[in-house]
Amino acid sequence: MNNIKSHCDKSYDPATSVDFIQPSELFSKQDFTSYIETQFSTREKIYDPLRTMLSDYDIEHHLIMGTDYGAKDTNDELSKFEEAKLTVLVRRLSKENRKWRTIIGYTTPSMSSVPGSNAPSSVTHREVKSLISGYVSGLRSGIPAAVNARELFMPSQNNMHCRFELIVNQMCKSVSSFISARQREKVVTSFKLDGNYHPDNSYNYWPVGVSPDFGITEAIEAAKCAFIKILDSTHTDAEKDMARIRLLKDFFLDSESSFWKDICESNMEAESQLPSELGKLDLDVQLHDLREKVALAFDMKTDELPASIIAQAEYLIWFYYLKHSPSMTQKLSDFHQYLLPHYIALAAVIIYDLHIKGRKIDIKIPGETNRKVSVYKTFQRTLEENGVSNKLTFEENIPNLNKAFNALDTKLIVFMTTLFSLATNGDENGYSFLRMDYVEAHGKVRVKRTALLAELPQMLKPYCSETASRLIEEFTGIMQVNTCNPLV
């Protein structure tokens, strides 16, 4: 009896490929129905959850094995076993989390771009990661050895990520670099036409008075048109892949899109909450008059500004630094490039604005907590709970700051660091005050760029994984060849 059960488990196990099925073996729907009812205590139609899922991905039921798999005379029987395996996978996911479809489809904010989402406190995120890991593992472990696309989705020995995931990510990074370079090329070309020669930099400089969004529309259009041109030259062929391959391909495309969509929405949210006092801050500031200049931005006396604000501003900048150093190999010497007096002053304005508002801020960006978060109080409390003290030097506080970073509310950390990032991009040489119109323009550049990066992966779904891989690599090559940043 145990041998029969073991055999059934393998026949229906999603992580065991149909290679295991003997050529003479016939699928028994009755046996499978009994297996499902025993394992999952369900009386609904056994295939309904799977077919609903396949419908979400525009996968027709009769194409579970794909058009390119194996010999036609064996496919019908293997298709029944493969359908059973996928049904078991879906049932397991449903048993683990009733919202599994929205999780693996990234149809709701995923927290994928939230730097604090791996924090020990992020129970929800850990559960989501566990479910996603089981989904991806169950799909790719059951890919038959003879399927050419198999290697695209298997993790490499030195990297937990698969090749398909990596090339999609590389494509988006290449597009981002191309857009930035194309903007700068447009500036230089414009200068050459107008004869704006600089004795030190020739024509290769971004001058005072040119908005950060100069040329952004043309740069984005150039990237998108190049991508569409490549796609239009290739027939769609998603039906070639087995259903599990298509599900993996679409999962990684959705994951990449979700990452950029999260960042896009984060930038829009932070931009709407920037304090107007940033534009009143005198940027000709030194360490000795930080409190005075910050207080003046709020039309108040220096002694009215809480003494802790400047230290907390430095802590915020450290969190920003950690966000951009995910390998956690931070060096204090590298950090000092961020710890400039006017950067500390900008961070202090942001911190004090959050302090005086004293209310919960409605944050719509991805995160595990409730939409309304008391930002400053949560920030202050997390610092205190993790041993960060104004009585210690900054260097002495670093271990505790790192603990606080990992424990911070997942919405709060991305919100505050994005506020700071946007503010620093309004600093214009030759101006004593922040160019708030430049801050707004820089925000628009980020939103437009990340909106495009969220869109591109979705356009690859009509293609099979091997075709999509070829298109990605071709397009990435075009982007890299045509990326020439004259200001570097």
pLDDT range class, residue 364, cuts 50, 70, 90 = low
pLDDT range class, residue 196, cuts 50, 70, 90 = low
Which pLDDT value is given to residue 465?
97
Give yes or no for residue 110 having a pLDDT over 80: no
Which pLDDT value is given to residue 370?
55
pLDDT range class, residue 59, cuts 50, 70, 90 = very high
Which pLDDT value is given to residue 72?
52
pLDDT range class, residue 8, cuts 50, 70, 90 = low
Rounded average pLDDT over 227-254: 96
Which pLDDT value is given to residue 22?
85
Q: Which residue has the higher pLDDT, 232 or 210?
A: 232
pLDDT range class, residue 409, cuts 50, 70, 90 = confident
Cα–Cα distance measured from residue 314 to residue 466, given in angstroms and rounded to the nearest whole number:
48
Q: Which two structure tokens, joined as six digits, stand for 160? A: 């937990």
Give yes or no for residue 425 having a pLDDT over 50: yes
- Residue with tokens 């060849």, as numbered in its chain: 481
Rounded average pLDDT over 248-256: 95
Q: Which residue has the higher pLDDT, 240 or 24?
A: 240
The string of pLDDT tens digits covering residues 68-84 is 886 555 568 899 999 99
Q: Are 373 and 358 in contact (CB under 8 A)?
A: no
The Cβ of residue 113 has, within 10 Å, a number of other Cβ atoms equal to 20
- Amino acid found at 278: L
Q: Are 483 and 181 in contact (CB under 8 A)?
A: yes
Q: Which residue has the higher pLDDT, 281 or 10?
A: 281
pLDDT above 70: percentage of residues in the chain:
83
Cα–Cα distance measured from residue 176 to residue 445, given in angstroms and rounded to the nearest whole number:
11
pLDDT range class, residue 200, cuts 50, 70, 90 = low
- Residue with tokens 């600093």, as numbered in its chain: 427
- The pTM of this model reads 0.87
Highest average pLDDT, of 167-181, 253-267, 330-344, comes from: 167-181
pLDDT range class, residue 119, cuts 50, 70, 90 = very low
Rounded average pLDDT over 297-321: 94
Give yes or no for residue 236 having a pLDDT over 90: yes
Which pLDDT value is given to residue 179?
96
Q: Are 160 and 133 in contact (CB under 8 A)?
A: no
Give yes or no for residue 1 having a pLDDT over 80: no
Burial of residue 232, with CB atoms counted within 10 A of its CB: 0-12 exposed, 13-18 middle, 19 or more buried: exposed
Q: Nearest 5°: CA angle at 431, between 425 and 433?
A: 70
Cα–Cα distance measured from residue 39 to residue 36, given in angstroms and rounded to the nearest whole number:
5
Q: Are 87 and 46 in contact (CB under 8 A)?
A: yes
Cα–Cα distance measured from residue 327 to residue 351, given in angstroms and rounded to the nearest whole number:
27
Q: Which residue has the higher pLDDT, 310 or 195?
A: 310
pLDDT range class, residue 401, cuts 50, 70, 90 = very high
**Range name among 355-369, 388-402, 414-428 with the lowest pLDDT average:** 355-369
The Cβ of residue 191 has, within 10 Å, a number of other Cβ atoms equal to 20
The DSSP H or E segment spanning 203 is: none
Which pLDDT value is given to residue 121?
47
The string of pLDDT tens digits covering residues 141-154 is 999 998 989 999 99
Give yes or no for residue 410 having a pLDDT over 90: no
Quote the distance between the C-alpha of residue 73 and its chain's center. Answer: 44
Rounded average pLDDT over 361-387: 77
Which pLDDT value is given to residue 414?
82
Q: How many residues does the chain have?
A: 488
Q: Are 224 and 212 in contact (CB under 8 A)?
A: no
Q: Which residue has the higher pLDDT, 156 or 294?
A: 294
Give yes or no for residue 64 having a pLDDT over 70: yes
Which pLDDT value is given to residue 2?
40
Cα–Cα distance measured from residue 407 to residue 122, given in angstroms and rounded to the nearest whole number:
8
Cα–Cα distance measured from residue 309 to residue 300, given in angstroms and rounded to the nearest whole number:
14
Give yes or no for residue 235 having a pLDDT over 60: yes
Residue 111: closest CA among 412, 446, 401: 412
**Range name among 89-98, 199-208, 295-304 with the lowest pLDDT average:** 199-208
**Range name among 110-114, 157-161, 282-286, 348-352 with the lowest pLDDT average:** 110-114
The Cβ of residue 208 has, within 10 Å, a number of other Cβ atoms equal to 10
Contacts of residue 417, Cβ cutoff 8 Å, sequence gap at least 6: 115, 316, 319, 320, 323
Rounded to the nearest integer, the mean pLDDT of the chain is 85
- What is the dihedral angle through the alpha carbons of 467, 470, 471, 474, rounded to the nearest 10 degrees? -160
**Alpha carbon separation from 80 to 21, 27, 148, 488 (Å, rounded):** 11, 7, 22, 58
Give yes or no for residue 326 having a pLDDT over 80: no
